Structure formats: C-alpha cells, structure tokens
C-alpha cells in the first residue's frame, strides 16, 4: 500500500504534463481517422481530377467535361501554376487535364487535337487516364462517321453509358473494419509512448539516489517492491487503454459492439500489458531524465514504423517485416490486420490470433524477468 500511495502522490504531482501528453496522444489518433462512406454495394473508385478548360464550355468540350466529372471527383484549385503544381505533388489531385483552345473546332474538323495532362503516376491517375483515353477513342471513331454535333454527342453518351453488372460477395463491412484496424494500429504508438513516458517519469522519482537507498535497506524484498510498483503503474496503463477504447466507440462506430470489436479490444488489452512491462524495464534501466525523451521516440516510433502502425503492413518491404518479428508490436498489429479480414469469429478462424496473443504475453513475462534481473544488479550502489 505504501508503494501505491507514493505512486499516487508522484502521479498527482506530475499530473499536468501527463494529462497533456495523454490527451495529445489520444486526440492525435482521432485526428488521423479518415472519414469514408460506408456501403456494402459496389462503389467505383473515383480519381481526383482537375480540369483546366481553355476552350469555351460548349458542345463536345462540355460533354467531355461532363463525362469526366461524372466519373471522378472534380477538384477545385485556384488558377495559379504554383498552386496547381503543389496540389499535384501533395496528391490533392491525381490527374490534371488541360483542354486546349479551340478544342471543339479542331475536334469536329477531325484533327484529333492533343490534350496535355499532368499525372502523379499512381493507381488513381492510371484510372483517370483510362477514362480520358476511352472517351477520346469513342469520340474519335464516331466523329469519322457522324457530322452533326448533337447526334455525335448523343451517340457517344449512349455508348459510354453501357455498364457492367457487378455483384459483391462479402457481407463484411470492410470500411468500418479497416477504420477499426487503422485506429487500433495507431494505438501501438499511443499506448507505448504513453506508458514509457509516464512510467519513466514516475520511476525516476523512485530511483532518486536517496529514496532508492532507503528502499533498498528497508525490509521489503526487491521483487515484492517491483511487483507492487508494476501493479500501481498498471493502474495508469489501464486508464490510458480504457480511454482509448472508449474513444474507439465514438470514432469507429457500431462494429465495436460486435465480436470483431471485442477481439480488437482484447487484443489491445494484451498489448497494453506488454507495453507496460516494456515501459517498466526501460524505467528501471534509464535513470537519466534527459534521455527519456529520446528513448520514447526511438522505442515507440521505431516499433510503430517497423511493424506497420503508420504505414500499412502490406506496403512494408519484406526485410523490414522479418526484422519486425522480434518486436511485440508486430504480433499486435498483425492481429489487427487479421481481424480486418475475418468473415466469422470462431475458434478455428481465431487460431492464429490466439497464438499471437500468447506470444505477446510471453514477451511480457520475459520483460518482467529481465526487469527483476536488472533491478537486482542495480541494488549495489557505491
């Protein structure tokens, strides 16, 4: 109880930076959430396109603009060369179409006028390119045979209207699941950084030379002391975890009330235990307050980057993922990714997830043992 009371006292003293840091971390995750429409019907992906029309918006030119607008998200950017180039670089727009002067006249005269474009070269821009190319091809072919502009436009639209029927098999609400995965992946950083920061802050008070000496000569066994400290610190870790989970109900939505949601929460709970033991180990190893900031960043950012908390796992190079196997964060994030793809939750499908949770718990036990060894060694002071 003495240890816990002291812990609360220290916590109370340092409450301002701790609350600030915690709120900052949790809100940071919230800010990063993307809002997307959710639907189980097929939704065609739409590239972001900017149309710059130097021709008069009439006839065939207008029809081209209408066709592109219907099949893409038209982006409005002020007509300024630098603003447009910036937008392209930062992927605010994937594809820019410059319709030249006299496009309509030249086209109707059969000159097949050249269209300038700017493109980011990614998926979306390829899709945009397909759209534009298709329209021009269809228009060109009809133009050779049909002279009346109205008839030409009608024919083009008639042809381009033909759609393929699509069926979607998955009953999963993938949108909400990817949201949940994204949110809980980010928790890897928030929980780890939060635990390490606060525990190091609190433990450094316990490790102050005079206090540490008094604790060592007391009748309390160092293991019991460590255990009590760890338990006290877990109070904070679970508060952090709890607020994170609470926020997920607001940000992610209904899916958190299903079995999927429960699995996400359970997974993050086990990871919190693991993060707590990591933080406890670091707090015992490092007594220099100046170094804490650097270490938080290296540990939390490092494992987040390596294991795919920020950048999706499937985009990471294989070698990085192999290295990531030695970090507990890998198993945590892997579980989130697995959950995203699960159609049904039962023992069979959860098999791999349960194994990963076991590995995380093993990590936690390992870290606790190492902490005890370190603590024992550190008891001898000059």
Considering only residues 8-37, where is the footprint of another protein by CB under 8 A? 28, 32
Give the CA angle between residues 342, 347, 349 to the nearest 5°.
30
Cβ-based nearer residue to another protein, 12 or 41: 41
What's the CA gap between 330 and 360, in Å, rounded? Answer: 9
Cβ-based nearer residue to another protein, 70 or 116: 116
The one among 53, 102, 105, 174 contacting another protein by CB under 8 A:
174
**Smallest distance from another protein to CB 140, Å:** 5
Binding mask 231-270 for another protein (x = CB under 8 A): ----------------------------------------
**Smallest distance from another protein to CB 58, Å:** 21
The one among 9, 288, 325, 354 contacting another protein by CB under 8 A:
288
Ramachandran angles phi, psi of 125, nearest 5°: -70, -30
Question: Which residues touch 310 (CB under 8 Å, ≥6 apart)?
Answer: 185, 186, 189, 304
**Smallest distance from another protein to CB 108, Å:** 16
Cβ-based nearer residue to another protein, 342 or 361: 342
Q: What is the footprint of another protein within residues 298-317 (CB under 8 A)?
A: 298, 301-302, 305-306, 308, 310-311, 314-317
Tokens 């009590």 label which residue? 228
Ramachandran angles phi, psi of 115, nearest 5°: -115, 130
**Smallest distance from another protein to CB 36, Å:** 11
**Smallest distance from another protein to CB 321, Å:** 10
Q: What is the footprint of another protein within residues 68-127 (CB under 8 A)?
A: 82, 85-92, 96, 98, 112-124, 126-127
Question: Which residues touch 213 (CB under 8 Å, ≥6 apart)?
Answer: 381
What's the CA gap between 88 and 131, in Å, rounded? Answer: 19
The one among 341, 355, 376, 379 contacting another protein by CB under 8 A:
341
Question: Which residues touch 185 (CB under 8 Å, ≥6 apart)?
Answer: 308, 309, 310, 333, 336, 337
Q: Does 287 bind another protein (CB under 8 A)?
A: no
Residues in the chain: 382
Question: Which residues touch 36 (CB under 8 Å, ≥6 apart)?
Answer: 175, 179
**Smallest distance from another protein to CB 270, Å:** 24
- Name the one range near another protein by CB under 8 A: 7-15, 163-171, 231-239, 249-257: 163-171
For 162, the 3-state DSSP assignment is coil
99 in Cβ contact with 51 (< 8 Å): yes
283 in Cβ contact with 199 (< 8 Å): yes
Q: What is the footprint of another protein within residues 122-161 (CB under 8 A)?
A: 122-124, 126-127, 129-134, 136-138, 140-142, 144-145, 155, 159-160
């Amino acid at each position: 109880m003495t240890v816990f009371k002291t812990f609360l006292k220290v916590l109370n003293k340092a409450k301002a930076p701790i609350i600030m840091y915690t709120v900052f971390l949790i809100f940071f995750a919230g800010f990063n959430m993307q809002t997307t429409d959710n639907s189980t019907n097929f939704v065609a992906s739409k590239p972001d396109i900017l149309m710059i029309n130097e021709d008069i918006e009439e006839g065939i030119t207008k029809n081209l603009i209408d066709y592109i607008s219907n099949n893409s998200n038209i982006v409005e950017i002020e007509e300024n060369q630098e603003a447009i180039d910036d937008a392209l670089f930062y992927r605010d727009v994937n594809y820019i179409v410059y319709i030249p002067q006299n496009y309509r006249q030249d086209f109707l005269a059969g000159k097949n006028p050249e269209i300038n474009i700017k493109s980011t070269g990614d998926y979306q821009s390829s899709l945009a390119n397909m759209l534009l190319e298709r329209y021009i091809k269809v228009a060109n072919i009809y133009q050779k045979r049909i002279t009346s502009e109205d008839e030409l436009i009608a024919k083009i639209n008639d042809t381009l209207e033909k759609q393929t029927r699509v069926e979607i098999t998955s009953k999963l609400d993938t949108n909400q699941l990817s949201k949940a995965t994204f949110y809980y992946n980010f928790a890897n950083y928030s929980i780890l950084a939060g635990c390490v920061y606060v525990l190091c802050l609190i433990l450094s008070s316990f490790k102050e030379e005079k206090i540490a000496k008094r604790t060592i000569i007391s009748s309390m066994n160092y293991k019991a002391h460590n255990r009590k400290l760890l338990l006290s610190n877990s109070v904070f870790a679970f508060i952090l975890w709890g607020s994170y989970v609470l926020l997920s109900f607001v940000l992610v939505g209904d899916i958190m009330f299903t079995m999927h949601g429960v699995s996400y929460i359970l997974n993050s709970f086990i990871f919190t235990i693991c993060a707590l033991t990591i933080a406890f180990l670091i707090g015992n190893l490092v007594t220099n307050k100046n170094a804490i900031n650097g270490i938080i960043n290296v540990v939390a950012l490092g494992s987040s980057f390596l294991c795919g908390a920020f950048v999706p796992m499937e985009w990471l190079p294989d070698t990085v993922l192999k290295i990531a196997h030695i970090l507990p964060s890998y198993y945590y994030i892997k579980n989130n990714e697995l959950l995203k793809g699960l159609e049904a939750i039962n023992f069979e499908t959860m098999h791999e997830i349960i194994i990963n949770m076991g590995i995380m718990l093993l990590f936690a036990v390992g870290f606790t043992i190492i902490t005890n060894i370190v603590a024992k060694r550190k008891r001898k002071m000059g």
